[in-house]
Amino acid sequence: MDSFDFEAAMERMRNDPRFDVLRARLEAEPVLPPLSTIPAPEFPHPLRLGGVVRYRCPLDCGWHHDARPDDEPMGPLLLPAGFTTEDLSAAISSQAVVRSNNFRLRVEQAIAEHFDASHPDR
Ligand SMILES: [Zn+2]
């Protein structure tokens, strides 16, 4: 039985032009939350540098929630065998939507927990 050469497989992947598409898309599209009940975020540092997104309490009590969109797990990229660059692009786009939704839910939950703890009457 042949053993699997992981390094050789990684090298083949790195040399695959489809990998450049993946890398370019990942670098081009930071995950940003869609509008929701979340207050408008502030960006103390550029997102491209892995910056933090800050959400202040809408009641201005001084509390804030810092989040890093880049910390959202990537999850699996589901691709058919013999995938094309279009398949890859579609898979990355759908993964970005999932990450964005998860990020928004996490921020909304943090804000809801803050309101429960500090503004239970609101
Ligand atoms: Zn507050």
Q: What's the helix, strand, coil split of the chain in %, to 5? A: 50, 5, 40
Distance 111 CA to ligand 1 centre (A): 8
**Across 15-22, average pLDDT:** 77
Q: How far is the CA of 49 from the centre of ligand 1 (A)?
A: 28
Local structure of 42: helix, strand or coil: strand
Taking the centre of ligand 1 as the mean of its atom positions, its distance from the CA of residue 118, in whole angstroms, is 6
CA–CA distance, 13 with 10 (Å, rounded to integer): 5
Question: Of 72, 58, 63, whose CA–CA distance to 106 is shortest?
Answer: 72
Q: Is the pTM of this model over 0.75?
A: no
- Residue 64's pLDDT is 92
- Summarised one tens digit per residue, pLDDT across range 28-52 is 666 665 556 677 777 666 555 567 8
Q: What pLDDT was estimated at residue 113?
A: 94
Which pLDDT tens digit goes with each residue over 70-88? 777 777 888 889 999 999 8
Amino acid identity of 82?
G
Q: Is the dihedral of CA 96, 101, 106, 110 positive or negative?
A: positive
Output the CA 33–ligand 1 centroid distance in Å. 21
Residue 84: the pLDDT is 92
The Å distance, Cα 63 to ligand 1 centre, comes to 5
Write down the pLDDT at residue 50: 60
Domain boundaries, the chain: 6-118
Q: What is the DSSP letter of 82?
A: T
- Residues 98-118 have pLDDT tens digits of 888 888 888 899 999 999 999
